[in-house]
Amino acid sequence: MPFIDKILVSRSLSIVGMEKNTGKTECLNYVIYRLKEKEKIIGLTSIGIDGESVDQVTETPKPEIEIYPGTIFITSEKHYKQKQLTAEILDITQKSTALGRLITARAKDFGKVICSGPSQTVWLKEIIDKTRDMGVDLFLVDGALSRKSSASPSITESMILTTGAAVAPGIDDIVKKTAFLVKLINIESFDTEHHEILMGKEKGLYIITKDNELIDTCIESGLFADKISPEFINKASAIFLSGILTDRFIELIRVQNTKKKIVILVKDFTKIFISKEKYYGFLRSGGEIRVLLKPNLIAICINPLSPFGYKLDSNLLADKLHDEIKLPIYDIKKI
Amino acid sequence: MKTFRNYIAEHVGVKFIYDNMNICSAPGRKELLNSKFIVAPNQIEDELELLDELFIKYTSLSEITKTNILHLLSQVYDVSLIIKNIQSGFTVDDIQLFEVKKFSVLIQKLKEILCEINYTSLEFSDLSIVINILDPDNTGLMTFYIYDSYDSKLAKLRKERISTNNQNKKDELYIEILKLEDQIRTKLCKELRHYCKDLEINLRNVAKFDVLLAKTQLIEKFNLCRPEIVENRINYCGLFNPFIADILSKKGKKFQAVDIGIDQKPCLITGANMSGKTVLLKTLAVAQIMFQFAFYVPAQKAEIMPVEEIIMSLGDNQDELTGLSSFAAEMLNVDKIIKAAKKGKKILGLVDELARTTNPDEGKAIVNAFVYLMEKYNSSCVVTTHYSGIITRSKRYKVKGLKTDEIKNQEVNSTNINDYIDYLLVEIDENFVPNDALNIIEMLGVEKELVFSARDFISRKL
């Protein structure tokens, strides 16, 4: 069966949807179902609320997450009480989310759970690390409500992207939007000896000079980019942004730096919030965007069913996406 | 009676102490914040003795044992509400039962460590029966669910549910399982009810132990001393203010500790501007508060009497908010002190520059009258003043002030002037008011015309 073998080599996986109702949970259930055959102990949580029986935004029914004995899941107090299986409580956090403290439990039989995990990625990382000691082979993260942050390669090793009718009304638009995101996900990583130092930076704007020297510009973030002096830009072979990359920043660098080749460097694709137009505009001007960590995009899954009731031609969508992206595309309902 | 929480809100110095305390558990934090200002000397003595014992033990422990204890404490959750629920006959859920089990296991482990190091001052009662109730398989793990071994029927139903493929049958079985689990939970809670007292005692003790441990660590951190409890005086050798000492040490400077003795009489302090009189009063307040919450105190040596109330007038009340002028706010504080003194209450009054915001003639009279009343009612009250001509038979101190010898040929300005002030307190017999104000404002670099003109007025005796 497709892509399960690829999942098995990584130790953590996040499933991220381009929008709600792109079949994320379906996809997750498929992955869990397949992993069961492989007799792997899996860990499971989501970032933010997920796994509700009814979608919180569009009120359409949603499939629940079905797990098997041995699975370690992390959910809030509120949703733990709604579980439909026997489970052994292993740990309870002292910190609390809006839905109560987080409970780590081990499933004792088959059944359905609602996952509502930590609200921040840092906390999620802590939880993933902690479950390692409990014997988890593979940790699955259900990324909620178009949140891509959990797919950051600093949190999970690999990712699955789901897309579908919920993204845009027409197939061509869906393909365009998905292809652009995949383009960003697959941005090549940048080799630098300053890798470790830059990964540890929580804020600030740094410059790597042509002589490979790292300079702190003392500017807090890309929001204050207009304070950056042209002198710095002239010196730079790469500009590193610890925070997010926006249209405004990219435009500013493009205007300042007319002729030379320059690299804008961010931690990973989850930090990139730019439009397609600005992105290609920047590339044409000789610039380049690179990341420190590139995620391992395992598969793209599609859901041809729209939350508004209509259904697109699954094969056509898959083919068009494949032409554009050159990656295997799966309709979970069909495999 | 005020709690520690109240004092944190009122005094930056106390807040600083609190921020530097390594309280590990939620029950410990609750215990400290809700602890009451202790007035009874024997109660302070008892608490201090507990602290002495732990301090001696703690300093001899290996780093690993210290870390183990702190790690255990940091996992303790406040189970008071759960205990209360069980006690009053409620059936609690798995999450709460898990908390009770985890709590009991942690306490048992803590008990073992304390036994190993021979610490017996706080007695933890045995919770092995509670653990047995919640760990029927004897796994020794800190996990919980309604175990199969609680009821053979439960085990059977669960097995059946796993093996069947019919979804409807699965759902039916699940409902049956839930019902049975509920019955077992009720039974468990009934059994646990007999041990609620033990759980409560242990919760109280672990909270207390956490606070004591945090106090102990504070002793090492700030080099605090064990106060001696006396009846009628307050004496400090090398009194310092941890908060300000910390700020100074960050700038590479040192806090100059002082010696002071206060009887059940007023105590008058004079000194030039910037000579640390206000800091002294704040330090006295923080030390007294720490003492009455059974901490060691920031001094080399201390003899302290417990008081019933500490009343301060430092002129930094939020006057605008209460609609009072600074003078009115000050007088209302003074009124509190006098009323308490007249009632024969044992107080520590701390008054900074009494009546400074009114005209010098009446101001001086007010200070004289206040000092007279404090003498009359034998009240411990420290008053700082710039007024000359205060009549009292009680103790007077002056702050040594500007190091005039060192200042010669030095560039003194607003940034380094503090380096040229000697904060030492000297007991004096008669009224002495230094005339350093003009020298100081000159050093601060204030407009020279003001200084010249003021000196001119003085020389013309206007």
pTM, entire model: 0.82
Which of B162, B169, B180 is most worth mutating to test chain A (most A CB atoms within 10 A of its CB)? B162
What is the interface size between A and B, counted as CB pairs within 8 Å?
41
- For residue B95, give the chain A residue with the closest CA: A89
Give the model's confidence band at B372: pLDDT under 50 very low, under 70 low, under 90 confident, else very high.
very high
The pLDDT assigned to B440 comes to 80
* Structure-block tokens of residue B374: 């404090």
Q: Do B99 and A81 count as a contact with CB atoms less than 8 A apart?
A: no
Q: Is the pLDDT of residue B317 over 70?
A: no
Block residue for tokens 């409580």? A89
Give the model's confidence band at A232: pLDDT under 50 very low, under 70 low, under 90 confident, else very high.
confident
> How far away is chain B from the Cα of A135, in angstroms, using its nearest Cα?
15
Is the domain of A12 the same as that of A144? yes
Enter the DSSP assignment of B315. S
Mean pLDDT of A281-296: 90
Closest CA to A272 of A169, A151, A176, A162: A151
Q: What's the rounded Cα separation, in Å, for the pair A244 and B448?
A: 54
Is the domain of B94 the same as that of B242? no
Is the domain of B345 the same as that of B372? yes
- For residue B102, give the chain A residue with the closest CA: A91
Q: What's the rounded Cα separation, in Å, for the pair A124 and A112?
A: 22
Is the domain of A14 the same as that of A155? yes
Q: Do B77 and A94 count as a contact with CB atoms less than 8 A apart?
A: yes
> How far away is chain B from the Cα of A114, in angstroms, using its nearest Cα?
16
Is the domain of B168 the same as that of B264? no
Q: Do A87 and B145 count as a contact with CB atoms less than 8 A apart?
A: yes
The pLDDT assigned to B151 comes to 93
Q: Which of residues 75-114 of A touch B (CB under 8 A)?
A: 77, 80-81, 84-92, 94, 103, 105-106, 108-111
Q: What's the rounded Cα separation, in Å, for the pair B152 and B133?
A: 16
Q: Which residues of A touch B102 (CB under 8 A)?
A: 92
Is the domain of A17 the same as that of A152? yes
The pLDDT assigned to A50 comes to 47
For residue A229, what are the domain limits? 195-291
Number of H helices, E strands in chain B: 19, 10
CATH number of the domain at A48, please.
Answer: 3.40.50
Amino acid at B457: F
Block residue for tokens 């059940």? B264
Is the domain of B239 the same as that of B204? no
Closest CA to A45 of A23, A63, A28: A28
Is the domain of A213 the same as that of A159? no
Q: Do B146 and A86 count as a contact with CB atoms less than 8 A apart?
A: yes
Nearest to A92 among B95, B170, B174 (CB): B95
> How far away is chain A from the Cα of B76, in angstroms, using its nearest Cα?
9
Is the domain of A39 the same as that of A150? yes
The pLDDT assigned to B275 comes to 78
Q: Which residues of A touch B92 (CB under 8 A)?
A: none
Q: Which residues of B touch A92 (CB under 8 A)?
A: 77, 95, 98-99, 102
Out of B213, B237, B263, a domain closes at B213
CATH number of the domain at B168, please.
Answer: 1.10.1420
Give the model's confidence band at B127: pLDDT under 50 very low, under 70 low, under 90 confident, else very high.
very high
Least confident piece of the model among A230-234, B28-32, B236-240: A230-234
* Structure-block tokens of residue B130: 């509670």
Average pLDDT of the residues of chain A: 85
Average pLDDT of the residues of chain B: 89
Nearest to A77 among B95, B143, B144 (CB): B95
Is the domain of A210 the same as that of A275? yes
Is the domain of A64 the same as that of A110? yes
The pLDDT assigned to A144 comes to 59
Between B109 and A23, residue with greater pLDDT: B109
For residue B395, what are the domain limits? 229-459
Q: How many domains does chain B have?
A: 2
Is the domain of B313 the same as that of B408? yes
Give the model's confidence band at B286: pLDDT under 50 very low, under 70 low, under 90 confident, else very high.
very high
- For residue B162, give the chain A residue with the closest CA: A109
Q: Do B95 and A103 count as a contact with CB atoms less than 8 A apart?
A: yes
Q: Which residues of A touch B174 (CB under 8 A)?
A: 84-85, 111
Between B276 and B383, residue with greater pLDDT: B383
Q: Is the pLDDT of residue B276 over 90?
A: no
Q: Which residues of A touch B135 (CB under 8 A)?
A: none
DSSP β-ladder status, B301-304 and B233-239: antiparallel
Q: What is the ipTM of this complex?
A: 0.76
Q: Which residues of A touch B177 (CB under 8 A)?
A: 86
Is the domain of B190 the same as that of B103? yes
In a domain, B219, yes or no: no
Q: Do A88 and B145 count as a contact with CB atoms less than 8 A apart?
A: yes
Mean pLDDT of A309-323: 90
Mean pLDDT of A316-324: 91
DSSP β-ladder status, A42-47 and A138-143: parallel
In a domain, B218, yes or no: no
The pLDDT assigned to A1 comes to 53
Q: Is the pLDDT of residue A49 over 60?
A: no
Out of B180, B213, B246, a domain closes at B213
Nearest to A86 among B143, B145, B170 (CB): B145
In a domain, B223, yes or no: no
Is the domain of B134 the same as that of B25? yes
Q: Is the pLDDT of residue A57 over 70?
A: no
pLDDT in tens, B395-409: 888 887 777 777 776
B interface residues, A as partner, C-beta within 8 Å: 26, 77, 93-95, 98-99, 102, 143-146, 158, 161-162, 170, 174, 177
Mean pLDDT of A34-38: 86
Q: Do A81 and B93 count as a contact with CB atoms less than 8 A apart?
A: yes
Q: Which residues of B touch A85 (CB under 8 A)?
A: 174
Mean pLDDT of B186-209: 95
Mean pLDDT of B285-312: 96
pLDDT in tens, B103-113: 999 999 999 99
The pLDDT assigned to A51 comes to 43
The pLDDT assigned to A59 comes to 58
> How far away is chain B from the Cα of A30, in angstroms, using its nearest Cα?
19
Q: How many domains does chain A have?
A: 2
Out of B166, B186, B213, a domain closes at B213
The pLDDT assigned to A48 comes to 62
Q: Which residues of B touch A103 (CB under 8 A)?
A: 95
Q: How far is CA B166 from CA A65, B171, B226, in A?
A: 19, 9, 73
The pLDDT assigned to A61 comes to 54
* Structure-block tokens of residue A41: 């102990």
Q: Do A92 and B161 count as a contact with CB atoms less than 8 A apart?
A: no
Is the domain of B166 the same as that of B20? yes
Is the domain of A57 the same as that of A181? yes
Is the domain of B150 the same as that of B271? no
Nearest to B144 among A81, A85, A89 (CB): A89
The pLDDT assigned to B277 comes to 86
Which of A73, A77, A80, A88 is most worth mutating to test chain B (most B CB atoms within 10 A of its CB)? A88
Residues A32, A318 contacting (CB under 8 angstroms): no
Is the domain of B164 the same as that of B249? no
Residues B51, B119 contacting (CB under 8 angstroms): no
Least confident piece of the model among B132-136, B262-266, B447-451: B447-451
Give the model's confidence band at A26: pLDDT under 50 very low, under 70 low, under 90 confident, else very high.
confident
Q: Do B143 and A77 count as a contact with CB atoms less than 8 A apart?
A: no
Q: Do B158 and A111 count as a contact with CB atoms less than 8 A apart?
A: no
Is the domain of A126 the same as that of A262? no
Nearest to B162 among A77, A103, A110 (CB): A110
Helix, strand, or coil (residue A246)? strand
* Interaxial angle between packed helices B63-74 and B94-116, expressed in degrees from 0 to 180 and rounded to the nearest 10: 160
Q: Which residues of B touch A90 (CB under 8 A)?
A: 143
Nearest to A90 among B143, B161, B170 (CB): B143
Q: Is the pLDDT of residue A147 over 80?
A: no
Is the domain of A106 the same as that of A227? no
CATH number of the domain at B379, please.
Answer: 3.40.50.300
Is the domain of A154 the same as that of A228? no
Q: What's the rounded Cα separation, in Å, for the pair A146 and A21?
A: 10
With b meaning 16 or more CB within 10 Å and e meaning fewer, what string describes A232-270? bbeebbbbbbbbbbbeebbebbbeebeeeebbbbbbbbb
Q: Which residues of A touch B158 (CB under 8 A)?
A: 86, 108-109
Q: Do A92 and B143 count as a contact with CB atoms less than 8 A apart?
A: no
Answer whether A66 touches B (CB < 8 Å): no
pLDDT in tens, B335-356: 999 999 999 999 999 999 888 8
Between A80 and B402, residue with greater pLDDT: A80
The pLDDT assigned to A188 comes to 92
> How far away is chain A from the Cα of B65, in angstroms, using its nearest Cα?
23
Out of A274, A291, A308, a domain closes at A291
Closest CA to B219 of B295, B162, B270, B278: B295
pLDDT in tens, A62-77: 557 889 999 999 998 9
- For residue A104, give the chain B residue with the closest CA: B143
Closest CA to B122 of B66, B65, B77, B57: B57
Is the domain of A241 the same as that of A153? no
In a domain, B220, yes or no: no
Cβ-based neighbours of A127, under 8 Å, separated by 6 or more: A45, A74, A102, A104, A117, A118
The pLDDT assigned to B413 comes to 73
Q: What's the rounded Cα separation, in Å, for the pair A53 and B170?
A: 19
Give the model's confidence band at B185: pLDDT under 50 very low, under 70 low, under 90 confident, else very high.
very high
Amino acid at A26: E
Q: What's the rounded Cα separation, in Å, for the pair B7 and B37?
A: 9
> How far away is chain B from the Cα of A223, in angstroms, using its nearest Cα?
33
Q: Is the pLDDT of residue B224 over 80?
A: yes
Q: Which of residues 250-309 of A touch B (CB under 8 A)?
A: none
The pLDDT assigned to B115 comes to 92
Q: Any idea what the Cα angle at residue B438 is, between residues B435 and B442, rounded to 5°?
A: 145
Is the domain of B260 the same as that of B209? no
Helix, strand, or coil (residue A168)? coil
Is the domain of B93 the same as that of B151? yes
Least confident piece of the model among A128-132, A264-268, B63-67: A128-132
